[in-house]
Amino acid sequence: MQKNSDLIRAVSRHSVSYILLSMSELFRHYDDFDPLDLLIIHAILNANVINVMKDSELDKRFGSIHAIEPDTIKLGISRAALSRFLGLPLETVRRRVERLKKREILADGRSGLIVLEANAYRFGNNHALQTTNVSLVRKLLRDLKRAGINGPDDL
């Protein structure tokens, strides 16, 4: 078995590759959006479903490609928390959020910003991107297995 530090380097290389491939697909699919706006939208999407991912029943209920989380169960995120999470100036986040709200992609939910379930661009419910992501995750897992990592206990 490889040394732990060698495995950490392999995980780092392959996971960064996965992230970059995912971002590339996202930018290619939504080429009429500024990359920073896409990052903001997807950071909000992630925050919106943290409660779903932590609850096995909700995760199972909304795990299908044919299911989408309703706006009513989404956890909002504040502009300040989003600014801290992304390492962006609060004013930049505020300005971009206001533009995305005018495009009816974002809204202020009861606990902060949410990506609207019914947005015209299918953010959060884009089957083509979800299918591509599955392919990229499979590639990541194959690459990690080839590097000698079969699961978390191998690190």
Average pLDDT over residues 113-126: 94
Domain count across the chain? 1
Tell whether 153 is covered by a domain: no
Domain containing 119 equals 4-148
CATH of the domain at 98: 1.10.10
Asked if the structure places residue 155 within a domain, the reply is no
Instruction: Please report whether residue 52 resides in a domain.
Output: yes
* The model scores a pTM over 0.85: yes
| CA-to-CA dists, residue 106 to 102, 118, 130, 145, angstroms | 8, 10, 20, 39
Per-residue pLDDT tens digits for 43-78: 999 999 999 999 999 999 998 888 889 999 999 999
Task: Give a yes or no: residue 102 inside a domain.
Answer: yes
